[in-house]
């Protein structure tokens, strides 16, 4: 840095140095650098105020601690700054002027900084965890949706299989029923044919019997004509008596 190479720090028209302004505004890092390069912490500015006066007036505890830790701070600046804190009744500021309490406060401040750092890390981790949980939730939701879709697809496949199976069974039953019906119809037709055949056979036997009876009757008539000479009238009478035998049954 330029200060480390010997650059001069200028004061403004009110005799305020950069260290005064840094202490007034609580810029701890700037204060540390300026003290390190040799800036005088006892230099007085407006109305004779030192850097410590500005830090106490604005309650910049870390800057106050840094200034009081500098061995160049004179007792007058220390006491006058302590008087300012005492007038304000600020016990926290007054404790900084006690070396033992200041040491404890420095440790507390250090621990507080570490706690703040870890707290910030925890917040970031928590934010990241929330984001990751949301991502995991979305992943689980997508997996659940895929599983549901897979299950529905499987159920649809099984339903189609069942429908095809039922359809196959229905077609088989229908074919079987038609075959049974056709078989029954064939049996009925065969029975009807057998009945017709039997009826025709019976009719044929009746015809045969009638024809046989007719032959016997005619033979008897011829014999009667030859042996008794009854004449035509007697023959007609015999023929009329035999007429019923010529009435054949209807088919």
- 53 and 136 in one domain? no
- 87 and 119 in one domain? no
Domain that holds residue 189: 99-209
Reported confidence tier of residue 7, pLDDT bands at 50, 70, 90 = very low
State mean pLDDT over 87-116.
83
Asked whether the whole model's pTM tops 0.85, one would answer no
> Please, are residues 46 and 16 in contact by the beta-carbon 8 Å criterion?
yes
> For the chain, what is the domain count?
2
Q: Does 17 map to a domain?
A: yes
Handedness of CA 93, 97, 101, 103 (dihedral sign): positive
For residue 211, the model assigns a pLDDT of 66
More confident: 58 or 208: 58
Mean pLDDT, rounded, of the chain: 78
- 60 and 104 in one domain? no
Q: Is the pLDDT of residue 248 over 90?
A: no
- 21 and 59 in one domain? yes
Q: Write the pLDDT tens digit of every residue in 82-99.
A: 888 888 888 888 888 888
Which of 51, 71, 97 finishes a domain?
A: 97
Reported confidence tier of residue 23, pLDDT bands at 50, 70, 90 = very high
DSSP secondary structure of the chain: -TGGGTPPPP--TT---HHHHHHHHT-HHHHHHHHHTT--TT---GGG--HHHHHHHTT-HHHHHHHHTSTT--HHHHHHHHHHHHHHT-HHHHHTTSHHHHHHHHHHHHHHHHHHHHHHHHHHHHHHHHHHHHHHHHHHHHHHHHHHHHHHHHHHHHHHHHHHHHHHHHHHHHHHHHHHHHHHHHHHHHHHHHHHHHHHHHHHHHHHHHHHHHHHHHHHHHHHHHHH--HHHHHHHHHHHHGGGG-PPP-
- 77 and 12 in one domain? yes
Q: Does 221 map to a domain?
A: no
For residue 221, the model assigns a pLDDT of 65
Q: How many beta carbons lie within 10 A of that of residue 232, not counting itself?
A: 8
Q: Write the pLDDT tens digit of every residue in 165-182.
A: 767 667 777 777 778 878
State mean pLDDT over 140-169.
82
For residue 34, the model assigns a pLDDT of 94
């Amino acid at each position: 840095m330029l200060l480390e190479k010997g650059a001069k720090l200028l004061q403004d028209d009110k005799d305020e140095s950069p260290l005064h302004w840094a202490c007034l505004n609580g810029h701890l890092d700037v204060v540390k650098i300026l003290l390190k390069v040799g800036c005088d912490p006892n230099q007085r500015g407006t109305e004779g105020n030192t850097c410590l006066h500005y830090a106490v007036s604005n309650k910049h505890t870390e800057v106050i601690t840094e200034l009081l830790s500098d061995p160049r701070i004179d007792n007058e600046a220390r006491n006058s700054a302590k008087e300012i804190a005492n007038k304000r009744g600020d016990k926290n500021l007054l404790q900084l002027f006690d070396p033992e309490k200041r040491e404890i406060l420095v440790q507390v401040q250090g621990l507080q900084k570490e706690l703040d750092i870890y707290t910030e890390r925890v917040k970031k981790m928590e934010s990241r965890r929330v984001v990751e949980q949301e991502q995991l939730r979305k992943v689980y939701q997508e997996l659940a949706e895929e599983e549901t879709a897979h299950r529905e697809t499987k159920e649809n496949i099984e339903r189609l299989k069942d429908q095809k199976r039922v359809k196959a069974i229905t077609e088989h039953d229908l074919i079987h029923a038609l075959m049974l019906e056709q078989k029954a119809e064939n049996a009925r037709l065969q029975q009807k044919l057998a009945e017709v055949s039997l009826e025709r056979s019976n009719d044929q036997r009746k015809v045969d019997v009638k024809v046989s009876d007719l032959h016997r009757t005619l033979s008897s008539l011829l014999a009667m004509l030859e042996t008794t000479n009854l004449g035509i009238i007697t023959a007609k009478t015999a023929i009329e008596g035999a007429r019923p035998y010529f009435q054949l049954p209807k088919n």
